[in-house]
A = this chain, B = another copy of it.
Amino acid sequence: MSTYRFPEPWATAEIPGPRKAAIIPRPESLVAILRRANRRLLVAGSKALDRIEGVDTVELIRLLHSTKLFTIVASRNTAYRLEEVGIPTVASISVYELGDRLRDSSWTGFDGVGGYDLVGFIGFPYITLWLVLSGLKHFAPKISTISLDPYYHPHAYWSLPNVKGSEWYSFIKKVADSFGVM
């Protein structure tokens, strides 16, 4: 990954502070992280229907979905379109409302069974995710948040670095492949 050595926030000025996301250097690392988790949530954002860095984001969500690892939720404007293309979401919810629930340690999740220990995010405007991840970093200390967008997100617990679209695609693809799909 060409930008691996530059863990700067994609939006240059959005410097967070001393606690910054660890870079996920290789697909295998992400695979390992995913395997370790128990209850995984994937959140598809308000830009998930757009091409991001030239990549069809929905395609990546489909790949992630096919790993069968995730409960999937999506931003209000996104959810039904994912449903339409065959990606089931358990809820359509504002990412801020979601953040507000995630930071409540007594919240029992969308199935009423319990909270999530790993939450991946994909398909967001940079600033929206930056802020929500900040809220979670500070107030949901037990959740591992992962930015799966092709931008370094310092407020996440784990983040991809800033990468080109093609690299992003192949990264996610490799992760999905490791779980034996397609």
Contact = CB atoms under 8 A, between A and B. Distances in A.
A15 B13 contact: no
B12 A15 contact: no
A140 B12 CA distance: 22
Contacts of A53: none
Interface residues of A, number: 6
A18 interface: yes
Secondary structure dominating the interface of A = loop
Tell me how many chains of this kind the complex includes.
Answer: 2
Contact of A13 (B12, B13, B17): B17
A59 interface: no
A17 B13 CA distance: 7
Interface in A1-57: 8, 12-13, 15, 17-18
Contacts of A13: 17-18
Contacts of A12: 18
Nearest to A12: B18
B15 A8 contact: no
Interface of A: 8, 12-13, 15, 17-18
7 contacts: A8-B18, A12-B18, A13-B17, A13-B18, A15-B15, A15-B17, A15-B18
